[in-house]
Homo-oligomer: A and B are copies of this chain.
Amino acid sequence: MELDRTDFRILSLLQDNGKCSYSEIARNIHVSEGTVRGRIKKMLSHDVFEFIIHTNPNKIGYHVQAIIGLEAKVGYHDEIASQLQPYRAVRFIGAFSGKHDLIIQAYFRNNEELVTFVDQQLSEIEGIISVDVNVELKQYKDTFSYVD
């Protein structure tokens, strides 16, 4: 799907405020409200973006965030990923080139929950060679606005 300048202008406004109305966007970029609606509908159907909310983990009781690098046996990536998938705590799973084969990002209520996850859940998964846990001490930036 090809995105033109109008599409990008729409995305740009929405990323600043996901509650921005069609007509508000229309006024801003000087097209009709129907056009905005049509473009958004099309982009949504092509999975260009989605309307979501970003919940502050700390405010809902998840005080420990970790980025965990995993070394995996060759051929085990998909299997490990699919076993990690169901965990609510795990918000991101990716396969990478570099020091770590898989990197996951996860939220926990406290340190104990993190330890339990590593020692019990992770250790039970076959194919994991090593686990490199990094616990977040301070967050400097966490944005979702990367449309120009």
Docked pose: A133 CA to B90 CA in angstroms: 22
> In the complex, are the beta carbons of A59 and B53 less than 8 A apart?
no
Whether A76 is near chain B, meaning CB under 8 Å from some CB there, is no
> In the complex, are the beta carbons of A53 and B56 less than 8 A apart?
no
Q: List chain B residues, Cβ under 8 A from A77.
A: 138
Whether A5 is near chain B, meaning CB under 8 Å from some CB there, is no
> In the complex, are the beta carbons of B99 and A141 less than 8 A apart?
no
Whether A128 is near chain B, meaning CB under 8 Å from some CB there, is no
Q: Give the interface of A toward B (CB within 8 A).
A: 1, 3, 8, 11, 14-15, 17-19, 46-57, 59-60, 62, 65, 67, 69, 77, 81-82, 84-85, 88-100, 103, 107, 132-148
